[in-house]
Amino acid sequence: MDMSFSPADLAFRDEVRRFLADELPQRLRDGMNGTPSVFVEPEIGLEWQRILHARGWLATSWPVEAGGTGWSPVQRYIFEKECALADAPALSVLGLKLVGPVIARYGTPAQKARFLERILTGDDLWCQGYSEPGAGSDLANLKTRAVRQGDRYIINGSKIWTTHAHYADWMFCLARTDPDVKPQAGISFLLVPMKQKGITIRPIIGMAGDHEVNQVFLDDAEALVADRIGEEGQGWTIAKFLLENERGGSCAAPKLLADLQKLARLAASQPMAGSTLADDDAHGRRLARLRLEAEALETTELRILSDLAQGRSPGPQTSLVKLVASSLRQAVDELAVDSFGLDGLQLATERPLYGNESPEPIGSKPAQLAMPTYLNSRAWTIFGGSNEVQKNIIAKTVLGL
C-alpha cells in the first residue's frame, strides 16, 4: 500500500501548476469565485475551456482517438485538484462529460466527426433533456413522444429542469419512439437542435434568484433520424451509460478541500467580540469534522482511480461518491453562510456577482456569495439522481437488500 504520487505524477503536478499560474486569467478566477450557481455561465466557462483546448488538456474523460488527453486516472485527479486550488472555472459538464463520451462511444463515424470537435471548441453548447414534469426520479416514465416521418422525428412533450437550455444549441433528449413496449425499451436518444420553431423555453428562477434551469416545450419539434444516437429503442442503455458518467468518475474532494481551506483561512478575518472566528472552538471543530469527511472522500475517490489505473473495474465505492460529495457540498456551503455572521444574510438580486457591474457587497465579496451559493447548493442532493435514489441503488445493488 502506498498513498504517494510517483515522481512522474509530481512532475505532472508541477507542470499543471505552472500552466495555471501562466494561463488562467484573474478575470476567470474572479468569475468562478463570483459564481453562486451550481453551473458556471458560458461567459466564464467557455473562455477557460478554449484555453484548455488550445493546450490539449480539455477532454480528460474522452478516449484518446476522440481527442481525449489520455491521462491516467491519477493524472486526472491531480489536474482537478490543482484547478480547484487555483479557482479555475468549473467547466460545463453537459457537452464534455455527458454527451461527448456518449457520442464517442455510441456515435457513427459521421456523428463523431460532426459533433465532437464542436463540443471541444465550444462552438456547440448542449443541454440535457431527460427529466420531465412527470418523470424525475422515475425517468423511465418519460412521456415525450417522437414519431418518425421520413428522415426525421416529430417530437412533442416537455422537458423540465433543463440546465442552460437558454444557452444551448443542441439538446440530447430522451424520447419515446415506441409506446407499445415496456417503458425502458421504447426510448431513443435523439439530438435535437434548440434553435427551431417547435421549441419554447420557459426560464425557471431558483430561490437564490439565479436562472440556471428551464422548462422546455417541444411542439412538433424536429430532429433528424441521422442525429439519433444508437438504435431506436436503445436510449435507455445509453442514458444509463451517461448517468453513470455523471455520477461516478468525478473528482469532488479536491474542490471541497480547497473550499474548506479557504473557510479556515477566512475565519481569522471574521471578528468575534474581541477575538476572531478562528478562536472559536465550536467553529473549529465543525470545520475539522467536515475536513475529515472530505479527506475520507478524497481517499475513496483515489481508491477508485487506483482500481481504474490497474485496469480493475472499481468496486462498490463508486455508488457512494455522489451521495457523500453532495451532502458534504451542502454542509460546506452552510458553514460558509454561518461564517459570515449577519453579513451572511445578504442576498443581492443583481447578477452577475462578478465583473465591474456587480453590486457592492456588504462586508466582503465572499460574504455576498455565501447565501446564494448555499441556497443553490440545495440542488446537489436532487439532480443527477437524488440522494434517496442513490441510497435505493446502493441498498439494492451493493448491499443486496
Partner 1 sequence: MNFDLDEDQQLLKAAAERFVADSGGGDLLLRRAARMEPGGFSATNWARLAESGVLGLAVSAENGGLGQGTVEIAIVMEALGRGLAPEPVLDVGIIAAGLIDSPENAAQHKSLLQDLIRGNTLVSIGHSEREARHSLSWVGTSARPDGETLRLDGCKIAVMAGGGAQHFVVSARLSGAPGDADGIGLFLVPAEATGLERHPYRLADGSLAAELTLRDVKIPAGSQLAGGFSTLKTVAATARLAAAAEMLGVMGLLFDNTLNYVKTRQQFGQPLGNFQVIQHRMTDAYVQLEQSRSHVMRAALAEGAAFAGAAAGAKAFVAEAALGLAHTAVQMHGGMGIADELAIGHGLKRIRVLALCFGDSASALDDYRCAA
Return residues touching ligand FAD (CB under 6 A).
38, 127-131, 136-137, 161-163, 212-213, 379, 382-384, 386, 388-389, 392
> Measured from the CB of residue 204, what is the shortest distance to partner 1 in angstroms?
5
Q: Binds 257, which of partner 1, ligand FAD, none (CB < 5 to 8 A, cut-off by type)? A: none
- Please report, as ranges, the residues that interact with partner 1 according to CB under 8 A: 131, 134, 136-138, 141, 160-161, 204-207, 209, 213, 270-274, 277, 282, 337-338, 341-343, 345-349, 360, 362-363, 371, 375-376, 378-379, 381-383, 386-388, 391-392
**Sequence letter at residue 179:** P
Closest separation between CB of residue 378 and partner 1, Å? 5
163 binds, options partner 1, ligand FAD, none, Cβ within 5 to 8 A by partner type: ligand FAD
- Cβ closer to partner 1: 56 or 203? 203
- Please give the single-letter amino acid code of residue 42: P
Separation of alpha carbons 127 and 134, rounded Å: 19
CA separation for the pair 370, 347 (Å, rounded): 9
Neighbour count for residue 264 (Cβ, 10 Å)? 17
Query: What is the identity of the amino acid at 152?
Result: R
272 contacts which partner out of partner 1, ligand FAD, none, CB within 5 to 8 A by kind? partner 1
Active site residues: 246
Q: Sign (positive/negative) of CA torsion 292, 294, 295, 297?
A: positive
SS3 246: helix
Backbone angles phi, psi at 197, to 5 degrees: -60, -35
Q: Which is nearer to ligand FAD, 239 or 263 (CB)?
A: 239
Nearer to ligand FAD, 270 or 376 (CB): 376
Task: Give 32 or 266: the residue with its C-beta nearer to ligand FAD.
Answer: 32
Separation in Å, CA 225 to CA 122, 147, 154, 155, 220: 24, 10, 10, 12, 15
Close Cβ partners of 225 (under 8 Å, ≥ 6 residues apart): 148, 151, 152, 153
Could you tell which of partner 1, ligand FAD, none binds residue 162, using a CB distance below 5 to 8 A set by kind?
A: ligand FAD
